[in-house]
Chains A and B, each alone.
Chain A
Amino acid sequence: MLSIKKHHLEHSVKLSYEIYSCSSYTAPYQPRNIMEDKPSDQSSRWSSKSNDQMQYVLIKLDSMAIVHSITFGKYHKEHICNLKQFKVYGGLTPNNMIELLHSGLRNNSRSETFRLKHRTNQVLLPCQYIKIAPLAAYSPDFNFSIWYIELKGIQSPEIVQQVYLDYIKFRENEAIRLCLKHFRQRNYLDAFNALQSKTKTLLEDPFITELYEQIVSNGDFQMAEDTMINAAEKGLFEEYIRNCPHNYFWKKIEATDACGDSPCTRGGHQMCIDVEAGQIYLLGGWDGNNNLADFWSYDINTKKWNRISHNTREQGGPGPRSNHKICLDHIMKRIYVFGRFIGRGSRANANFNSDFYSYDIINNKWIKLCDNTALVGGPSLIYDHQMCIDSEAQMIYVFGGRTVHPDTEPFTYSGLYSYNIRSDEWKLIRSNDESNSDYVPLKSRIGHSMLLDQNEKLLFIIGGDRDNTFLNDFLIYDIKAGLVHELIADYATHEDHDSVFTQRTTFDMDTQEFYVLSGLKDKRDKRSQAIKNSFWVYDLRLDKWTKIYQSEVYGTQYWESDETIEPRPRYAHQMIYDNVHKVQYVFGGRAVETDVLKQQRLDDFWELHLVRPKSEDLLRRIQFQIRKQKFREMCYEGDTVKALKYLQVQLGQVVDHSIEAESTEFRELTSYLFHKVEDKASSSFNLRTELFENLLEFFPNTMKQPKDNLIDLVKIE
């Protein structure tokens, strides 16, 4: 579980350590070299003698600690022996360590810091030993080198001692629970009861124990069904549902306003959504010839567009623009507008003032907040930046973007700024690339995504482009602590996750999931033949990327036809998210096309619905399983007619014949009618236990018996 609470960081100190052992080393490159950071000395490193998967360096901390982060220092230039992939393990003894990190380094000179797993759901992990196990260097034939390792964490004895005791107690408890599970599973009830009463350890939540008694002890299947319905009502299946893959469907929105108009083709426009009011706003963009200043709203409920303004400048609002940013304050009902792009050809006599506007939705009124933010401590005129608003705190955050100035070269990038709405004050939080050894640098960029978690006060920054180099990092800026964390060194290295440039990302704060609609694979790859959309979900809590959707690679003909069931691949589009109804909206942009001249702007409007199973669906499946067991037991009892009737009526009610496997299973149940069983009691016990364990799947881990089995701990030597 990822938690970035400030109080953990406050105690974080550099941890001293010694080298305990290593798998091998090449003569001058002893493992102790990693204790010193000497980037200019090629010999200041550990280098393995082999490049197999058995290599490691084992570090012993001077005192036990909770290790929060690991920093890898590097050589002053790229080096083929850098670790492209590695794992970090931690534990109290060298023989029993768990994986804390699996990541990779970039082959450059910049040191990299990674957060280490230091807590599970229940307990913090104290470590005495840390093991770094290289898996791949930048070329498979070379040995692995580690230049410098720094560990940070909590070392203060009073905290660590308590954590250690908790940890020991936790392990003791888990061992007892494993025994309890085993005894109950094998029907050693005397042993089970004796152990439970002696240790007073709970195997599971009392709610589950009740379910166990209903199913396994009493065979009261009706009660069990009621319990499961009750569980669904209590929302206990949410964790399960969350782990189910999403289903999706695209839907094209064909909407107009009262006059039959809808927003024209454009790219580089901006959209925002007021979920409570069911309104989507669209402002400006570039239609291929001109910047636009029209302002639209789309009513999600009535499915109608409404043109609020032909030209917002006439109402005292922003002039025509593209590649600007807007964001919506859902509490005060205001929209903020900042930045714009000026084409290279139009910079001669252009106005480079960085103007800043707000729009009062309720009173339909524009206010110019500032004529030039650069004069009041804010950013200069920028484009392709990102802007997020924290409505509760009345703070706006602006990060990145390229500065527009009369000369087109060189590129200059804008840092991270905050704007306090109440006090009307800009503040520079991190200037471009400001680097300090204590910080992970926040590299300024364009074409990235930035999302805000208002509750945790975290800014998430994903990917982007810097000096035509594609960045594939995933950074978290902790607003309160003022620190940057790197979440994943290289999120593009994830299997098949190739399309990441010009991505559009939305964030669901409730489920802590990011939705990424990828654009181009690479900016230089605009002409690529392999044009496809893909849609990914990153689950922050589970640290898991999942690809939900990917379009087939079709030719232009398909994409230009009216029969597409999905939007064609594009960039410079907009995607916004309705987190209540779980719908993504995509509008316009520029079609990705082999021939740049054919890259027309688009005016199509799409909904992407993401669907997960509902608890009603789960309940039906659950009922089917429970009733199946009841039916089997009726068959054992020998009243075949009664059993047949039950099969036809009660079981028949809960079968979904559209699921082939379930339908087949249902039909095959009839064979039980003619089935004779020798040992009814034992057979029932085993089948009931199996049913109970199947039902446990739907409950959160924290409520149920341990997943592991005692029997699996037996070593066969």
Chain B
Amino acid sequence: MSTVPRFFPVMLVVLFLSGCGKPQHDTLVLTGSSTVAPLISDLAADFEALNPGVRVDVQSGGSSRGLADVRQGTAALGMISRELRSEESGLQAHVIARDGISLLVHARNPVTELSDEQVRRLFRGEIANWQEVTDFDARVSIVHKGEGRATLDVFLAYFALHNRDVKADLIVGENQQGIRSVAGNPGAIGYVSIGSANYEIAQGVPVKGLAIAGVAPDATAIAQGDYPLSRNLNLVTQGELGGLAADFVAYARSPQAHERIQQHFFTPVVNP
């Protein structure tokens, strides 16, 4: 034992750690919104395939974490599923896609448009039968989203509703579940992400989207920013955009990324 120096274990650890080494690649780190992370993760894989020697590491954890990491410099780009707030100064947001939310009713329901006030009254339980709104005799059934869903926040904020005022008949989680629930009940009304709604409508599920403020929920209206009930999915940077981060943002905003964006049921943004 005396022949081995006492700090031998320390040497071993140092040797092990130095062996790990720093990666020789150009690495871009993105962190943030768990809604955006799967899409960016796919885009990152495509981007890596197009640019050999480049690594794009995508981390999840929520919009606020994305902002914090960009400020700290832990990440070059943050992903947020909302707009930057006024107090979040010094940061720049780059829109890569939009996530629209559609009010959804059964295909048999003749209504095509609801005013904001009608939506508020429906979700507060003040309208019991569709006859008060349109020529359709069916009991109103409210399909509402569960706590913590991003669509819930956007919906409540747009209609200025408090979650505790909503008289829900059914609380759902995923978009798919919401669509099935509306399809199974002629009197139901719910709201889901437009991309998945249009996907299911194309599959022949008997539901339809309603116009809000006179604008129908179709891809063109969302892409041009005319449809009011939608949110932007942004990449956020601190200061000027440059280097690898600039290339990645440009790629995510280019038409090459549109197919991926649609695969994730978001709407690509048409750049002016």
A binds B: no
A residues within 8 Å of B by Cβ?
none
B residues within 8 Å of A by Cβ?
none
